[in-house]
Amino acid sequence: MMLLHRLPDNFWRSLARWLNGEMSTPGVSAEIREVSRVNSNGRLEVKYHVFVTGAPKGQNYTMVSWPINARGPSPALEGLSLLMDGLISCAGRTPEQCGDPNKIDDPVELKLFGRYRSTNSCSCAERISTK
């Protein structure tokens, strides 16, 4: 178990800068919406879509991940696109975009998997995938 006071200093500095708006683009926001919730092989699986507002639609983006035990963020999925409603997708329309040309505008799903313990609490690990 990692103690919060042992997190790298750059994590805390970056978190403070992000919370103060220094690492965010003004006017851009993201909303995570639940898509489904099922019991899969005895564990909870919840899928989410991410909708972005205020960001240009005609360019590619990279989703990053920053686990608390890592020194810094790293790319999780590159070549992402925003659909007209802001849904993050793997458009698959150009070589620079992620996805399959046979599955154009495939939404990116964030999946959370839970393991239930005898105390009925849930510990979750994040997974990123496309349909």
Interval 17-32: pLDDT, tens = 777 777 777 888 889 9
pLDDT digits over 48-94, tens only?
Answer: 999 999 999 999 999 988 887 887 788 999 999 999 999 999 999 99
Chain-centre distance for alpha carbon 87: 12
* Closest C-alpha among 78, 87, 79 to residue 109: 87
Q: How many CB atoms lie within 10 A of CB 91?
A: 20
pLDDT on residue 86 = 96
Q: Choose between 52 and 42: higher pLDDT.
A: 52
